[in-house]
Chain A
Amino acid sequence: MPRTRKVRRLSTRDKVILAVMVAVPTLIELAFVWLPTLFSIGLSFTRWSGLDLTDIRAAGTDNYKFVSQDYPPFWPAVQHNILWLVFLALIATPLGLLLAVLLDQKIRGSRIYQSIFFVPVMLSLALVGVIWQLFYQRDNGLLNFLLGTAGTPAAVDWFGDSNVNIWAALIAATWRHAGYVMLLYLAGLKGVDPALKEAAALDGANAAQTFFRVVFPAMRPINIVIVVITIIESLRAFDIVYVINRGTNGLELISALVIQNLVGEGQVIGVGSALATILLVISLVPITFYLSRTFGKEAKES
């Protein structure tokens, strides 16, 4: 193979340079991403106050038992994470796709619309939380005014009321997610061969049939990316609920529970790490799916 020949032609000096080029970034990646990940798994089987390294005690699976049986916010958090995923997948992502399809037509002002829908994507989710706080506020927020409930006892404290705040947070998250999905689909739609659409039109397919039977399947690579992004975003969701009320009172998410157990009074590192490990295991499903799609072929080739 010509490729292996190429490596053999490298001089010693080149090999040293190459080794440094690979070693430095790899060490950074291992030290600050993968080693901590392994430590998280390790710590989840221990009891530790975080004060002195010699205080670490083995705890077996106690932390997991505690989390699943005696830790009240855990199951609500799991439910909220699932809700988050379902909402993004059924509402936010299709909305982004709809925006992309509408904007892909030959219409005036497409760029202006695109920019408007895209603005939230540039903001951090923490800031999205603050901005929507202003919008949702009980007494002075715009939403209660538009609903005619401002200043009356019927006014809803959208972020404060534990019955509605998860929905309010989800709508704020959709505001950002849909714009991102729109952008990716716009890129995807540009990549679809127009000849496909014309062929479908010649065969007598209407617009909807053309889209669902021809265009949408042709965007398979983008669809996979979108599925992975949607799942990972719903597992990573954190900033917005933390800004609202630190992920309490109706906004429990696994990610927020991890942090609640790590900072503040009474650091319970074992429990926090068990929660982090659970989050890791769930995350590995979409990550593995995505990696095998992306690198599967290459790995076989080399």
Chain B
Amino acid sequence: MTTVTTRVPVAGPSARPGSKAKRHYATHLVLLVLAVMWLLPLGWSLYTALRPIESTNEHGYFSLAGPYNFDNFVTAWNQGGFSKYFWNSVIITVPTVLLTLFFASLMAFAVSRVSWKFNVTLLILFTAGNLLPPQVLAAPLFQMFKHLDLPYWFSDSGSLLNTYISVIVVDTAFQIGFCTFVLSNYMKALSQDLTEAALVDGAGIWTQYWSIIMPLCRPAFAALGTLEVIFVYNDFFWPLLFIQSGDRLPVTTAINNLQGVFLSNYNLLAAGATITVIPTLVIYLLLQRQFVAGLTLGSSKG
């Protein structure tokens, strides 16, 4: 049911031949007003970020006086340590997304292409898991990681706390539920004949999974992959909980600390916020179709 549709609304409203072409002035007016309101917060950040603090100190924030340049971005990048935070985001996001898709595809295959007793039970377990508020599991996970003794060559905290692995593992576990749900619906829609035929030819389970079903799921992987990159990049909570040393935080969580650091310089904070937005915008512009498809594929996700 929640695999609402794979048809994507990016193509714009479908033209129905025969219907009268209306002008829709009122609609445009409402949409224009709302669109301007929608862009104000982001536009204001960008505008503030482009002005040096000297010029806003002199003329005030609500002035048009120049100059405009990218100095705040450079300063925020260097002072704020964005290159490090972005790298942390990459270290966390790439393995999480790959592991999530891999494990979810295994599970989805097993519950959708092979019929056995606990199919639905397992799917419910996974889907429900993804819908829980993360704060519900925060305390036990934190304590589990804290009390797990690890050798110091592996982790300088002596436990899983303050490691990238803690975030990767929990993000993966949390996202598997969602991806399993979406992929299993996708796989169910593929014809049973595909694997029946292979079965007659003597293909084992692994061949069915790897050589027949997986290649057919490429569109779903593209959509889910894009969506998951954005989800994991945007994840604020798990790094906040597990990672104590500031220089290991991914950029989305680090921006919270930078608020304090840049408090005296509003223009730098604006530049930092804008820099943090850029990767998501780039992904969206490049992979718009996949991203929107992913969201509608699995509209159970908040």
Note all chain B residues with C-beta closer than 8 A to A116: 35, 38-39
CB distance B139 to A269 under 8 Å?
A: yes
Note all chain A residues with C-beta closer than 8 A to B135: 236, 238, 254-255, 258-259, 276, 279
B200's nearest neighbour on chain A, judged by CB, is A9
A16's nearest neighbour on chain B, judged by CB, is B205
Q: Known pairs A127-B255, A191-B4, A221-B4. 20 more at Cβ < 8 A?
A: A25-B180, A29-B176, A105-B22, A115-B288, A119-B42, A133-B259, A135-B40, A135-B45, A179-B38, A180-B295, A184-B299, A190-B7, A224-B1, A242-B236, A243-B259, A254-B135, A258-B136, A263-B241, A279-B135, A302-B115
B126's nearest neighbour on chain A, judged by CB, is A29
B209 at the interface (CB under 8 A from A): yes
Instruction: Classify chain B: how many residues form its interface, as a range.
Output: 35 or more
CB distance A28 to B103 under 8 Å?
A: yes
CB distance A33 to B13 under 8 Å?
A: no
CB distance B34 to A99 under 8 Å?
A: yes
CB distance B44 to A135 under 8 Å?
A: yes
CB distance A33 to B129 under 8 Å?
A: yes
CB distance B137 to A175 under 8 Å?
A: no
Binding site for A on B (CB under 8 A): 1-2, 4-5, 7-10, 12-16, 19, 21-22, 24, 27-28, 30-31, 34-35, 38-42, 44-45, 48, 56, 61-62, 103-104, 106-107, 109-111, 114-117, 119-120, 122-129, 131-144, 146-147, 169-170, 172-174, 176-177, 180, 196, 199, 204-206, 209, 230, 233-237, 240-241, 252-253, 255-256, 259, 266, 269-270, 272-273, 276-277, 280-281, 283-284, 288, 291-292, 295-296, 299-300, 302
CB distance B134 to A236 under 8 Å?
A: yes
Measured CB to CB, the closest approach of chain A to B256, in angstroms, equals: 5
A114 at the interface (CB under 8 A from B): yes
CB distance B139 to A33 under 8 Å?
A: no
CB distance B38 to A175 under 8 Å?
A: yes
Taken together as a complex, chains A and B put the C-alpha atoms of A106 and B18 apart, in Å, by: 12
A230's nearest neighbour on chain B, judged by CB, is B302
What is the interface size of chain A, counting residues whose CB is below 8 A from a CB of the partner? 117
Note all chain A residues with C-beta closer than 8 A to B16: 106, 194
CB distance B147 to A53 under 8 Å?
A: yes
A199 at the interface (CB under 8 A from B): no
Measured CB to CB, the closest approach of chain A to B292, in angstroms, equals: 7
CB distance B4 to A188 under 8 Å?
A: yes
Note all chain B residues with C-beta closer than 8 A to A61: none
CB distance B13 to A191 under 8 Å?
A: no
CB distance B237 to A127 under 8 Å?
A: no
B123's nearest neighbour on chain A, judged by CB, is A295
* Sample of 5 A–B contacts (CB below 8 Å): A32-B174, A116-B39, A127-B277, A131-B45, A145-B62
Measured CB to CB, the closest approach of chain A to B6, in angstroms, equals: 9
Q: Which of A260-280 contact B (CB under 8 A)?
A: 262-263, 269, 272-273, 276-277, 279-280
Q: Of A68-76, A209-217, A286-294, which stretch is located at the interface?
A: A286-294
A240's nearest neighbour on chain B, judged by CB, is B236
Taken together as a complex, chains A and B put the C-alpha atoms of A255 and B143 apart, in Å, by: 18
Given contacts A39-B140, A117-B34, A134-B44, contact A123 B234 (CB under 8 A): yes
CB distance B140 to A43 under 8 Å?
A: yes
CB distance B270 to A134 under 8 Å?
A: yes
CB distance B236 to A287 under 8 Å?
A: no
A14 at the interface (CB under 8 A from B): yes
